[in-house]
């Protein structure tokens, strides 16, 4: 995982994919916090812990990506944080979705739900992709 050769270190494609995943985590937190904090429904559909988890995950991952010695472990943090946040989101949204499917009480904010779900899934997918890519490479001297 680490470069053992001597020479200047350059950022590889995995670094940039990891940054994209972190930015998607931040975007997910912002969209979820802005859209769902004001929506009222018979069940609880907003949990500030989702926003907090995504924000902390993104910040820690970006810091880890900037430190060459631990950059290889940043996607692990991103995968765990975005995956757990995605599961928390699904747990909160299961009742509005099932009420809509069965015609009990239609959830009026499906577009917001789709947008937030897409951002969460994209952040998880990009963090998984970054997991298998090199973060740094050594320049030829």
Sequential DSSP letters for 25-55: HHHHHHHHHHHHSS---SS----HHHHHHHH
Q: Is 18 helix (H, G, I), strand (E, B) or coil?
A: helix
Query: Does position 7 have pLDDT exceeding 90, yes or no?
Result: no
Which pLDDT score is estimated for 135? 76
**Which one is predicted more confidently, 133 or 33?**
33
pLDDT of residue 6: 59
- Residue-level pLDDT at 4: 54
| 47 and 92 Cβ atoms separated by less than 8 Å | yes
Would you state the structure tokens that stand for residue 3, as one six-digit string?
A: 């470069």
Residue carrying structure tokens 């995968």: 79
Task: Write down the mean pLDDT value for the chain.
Answer: 89
pLDDT tens digits, residue range 45-80?
899 999 999 999 999 999 999 998 898 899 999 999
Element (H, E) at 61: helix 48-66
Task: Look up the pTM and report it.
Answer: 0.86
* Average pLDDT of the residues in 88-106: 90
For residues 140 and 38, the answer to whether their CB atoms sit within 8 Å is no
User: Whole-angstrom Cα distance, residue 59 to residue 10?
Assistant: 21
Tens-digit pLDDT profile for residues 105-127: 888 888 999 999 999 999 999 99
More confident: 140 or 17: 17
Q: Residues 8-26: what's their mean pLDDT? A: 89
């Amino acid at each position: 995982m680490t470069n053992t050769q001597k020479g200047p270190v350059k950022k590889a494609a995995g670094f940039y994919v990891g940054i994209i995943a972190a930015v998607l985590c931040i975007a997910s937190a912002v969209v979820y916090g802005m859209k769902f904090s004001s929506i009222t429904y018979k069940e609880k559909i907003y949990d500030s812990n989702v926003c907090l988890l995504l924000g902390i995950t993104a910040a820690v991952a970006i810091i880890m990506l900037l430190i060459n010695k631990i950059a290889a472990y940043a996607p692990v943090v991103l995968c765990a944080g975005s995956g757990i946040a995605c599961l928390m989101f699904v747990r909160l949204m299961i009742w509005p979705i099932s009420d809509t499917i069965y015609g009990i009480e239609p959830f009026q904010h499906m577009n917001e739900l789709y947008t937030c779900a897409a951002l969460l899934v994209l952040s998880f997918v990009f963090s998984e992709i970054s997991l298998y890519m090199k973060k740094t490479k050594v320049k030829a001297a």
